[in-house]
Chain A
Amino acid sequence: MDRLEQELKAALGRKDPPAGFAERVLREAARAPARGTALPQRNRPWPRWLAAAAAVVLCAGAGLGYRQYRGEVARQQVMQAFRIASVKVNHIQTHVREVER
């Protein structure tokens, strides 16, 4: 070990933490849940992957529902157009027959 390394060793020697550090740690630890006890199931936060999966399923479900709604609206519009066209055609046929007489 050369001189620089000896100086580094002296400069980086272990230092005690401020007075009362251990007591503060023990006090904080006493506030935390007891050693080895897991959080109650109902309080345990959802795992991230489960929350993400739920969000994906919700988005997919909402997307599917919206597509079905739009499809139904389009179907009703087409049926309405057919009905209007049918009435018009009947009206024209009646008019043509009257003219032919």
Chain B
Amino acid sequence: MSRKLMLPVALVLIGTAFPALAQTADPNLGRNLAAGCANCHGTNGNSLGGAASLAGEPKDGMVQKMKDFRSGKRPATIMHQIAKGYSDAQVDAIAAYFSAQKPAAAGGKS
């Protein structure tokens, strides 16, 4: 095999290897972390009231709210304390998961 051919082959290998690696890292990270919010916000983000329903909400809005809870810009009874427990990357994964969920018609049933 000539050197000219080796390089594209190597690039193809890298190209396929990396997404696979990213997937085996933690394909369910967003889902798993979001489940930790479901106690108050309902399974898959469908709340019965009190805490906000997050299912199907725009991702960017949720990310911004968490930032504002952390900074104190958005007043809260409890979320300012909980928001400080999560990294930006974690908030991003959680918000991505909730925004992809279907809002329940009524009753918050998952």
A and B bound? no
Residues of B with Cβ closer than 8 Å to A?
Answer: none
Residues of A with Cβ closer than 8 Å to B?
Answer: none
